[in-house]
Amino acid sequence: MRHWPRGVLAAALASLFVLANAADAAEPPPGASSCSGCHGTVPNGTPIPVLRGRPALEIAGLMREFRSGAKPATVMGSIAKGFSDREIDSISQWVVGQSQ
């Protein structure tokens, strides 16, 4: 049986950990996958804005405004009320990651 040097074994395990986390990052956080149902990747003539190219802080800020009622909305107010600050941040980061 061949024995691998500890450094090689540690590097291999670290690589697997990084790859596993990269795969997890591609998975949308709860609630995020529904964003693309309304927010497409190109303008489609509706008042629903495209999220591509917007910074995560802007998306998160808008979601918080929808949630609080500070920004009037028909559907987004109800949707945003279902998310905590942490979930809003996760969704915003994921949406931006999909644009890259």
As a whole number of angstroms, the distance between CA 43 and CA 62 comes to: 19
- The distance of Cα 2 from the centroid of its chain, to the nearest Å, equals 43
Maximum pairwise Cα distance, the chain: 67
Domain ranges in the chain are: 29-98
Helical segments of 27-75, H only: 35-38, 56-68
Q: Mean pLDDT, 10 residues at a time, over the chain (100 residues)?
A: 51 43 65 84 86 93 96 92 95 86
CA distances from 33 to 12, 17, 37, 64 (A): 32, 24, 8, 18
Separation CA 73–CA 65 (nearest Å): 10
Give SS3 for 96. Answer: helix
The per-residue pLDDT for 43 is 84
29-98 is classed in which CATH architecture? Orthogonal Bundle (1.10)
pLDDT at 56: 96
Residue 15 is predicted with a pLDDT of: 44
Q: Which two tokens stand for residue 73?
A: 């909305």
